Amino acid sequence: MPLNESLVEITAENFKVDLDLRYATTNNFTDKAIYSRGACFLNQEAAENLRLAVDLAADIGLRFRLFDGFRPTEAVQALWDHTPNPDFLSAPGSGSPHSRGAAIDLTLIDSAGQELEMGTEFDAMTPTSYHGARDISAEAQRNRAILLGVMTAAGWDFYRNEWWHYQLFRPRRYPTLSDKAAGSRMMERTGHSGAD
């Protein structure tokens, strides 16, 4: 099935980003690969906002490392089944901004490719991950503020519990998509295939 025309593939070359797609590896909170292949997609509006954010970050000598973008509804279900924590994961019935291609998880890296200190790892399900957490170093607070400033200047909204998560304003304007409906082929061979 061809890729849903509402989605744009985000590649390292075309977007000048670094990809570390955690759910295609065992390096995530489930300790298993959720996706059968590492691929990152966003809807058209989100992809345009990402391009602007990339340019704004480049102006200050920084780049992005992307951890996740579009998340098929089957993956939303698999993550929830593993850890049903509404403070950090969307319940499958609520329709995750990720499954609409309207959200991205990312951090900043320097010119040497080193991640900036953010106070916690990606997907750390702890209050220390909240925007405005004060029990992190001054350096981590500064870096989170830079990330927040760049992303909001580029038209993104933030989720207060996760310093790494940004989404479009009013993401429910877009439909949720399964792997099949998206044509993303991200859930094949992982045992998480499902219906539209």
Enumerate the H helices of the chain as residue ranges.
12-15, 44-59, 73-82, 138-153, 179-182
Please give the span between the terminal C-alpha atoms of the chain, in angstroms, as a whole number: 13
| 162 is annotated as an active-site residue | yes
To the nearest 10 degrees (0 to 180), the angle between helices 138-153 and 44-59 is: 130
Contact 182, 4 (CB under 8 A): yes
Q: What angle do CA 3, 86, 7 make, to 5 degrees?
A: 15
Q: Widest CA span of the chain, in angstroms? A: 48
Active-site residues: which are they? 162
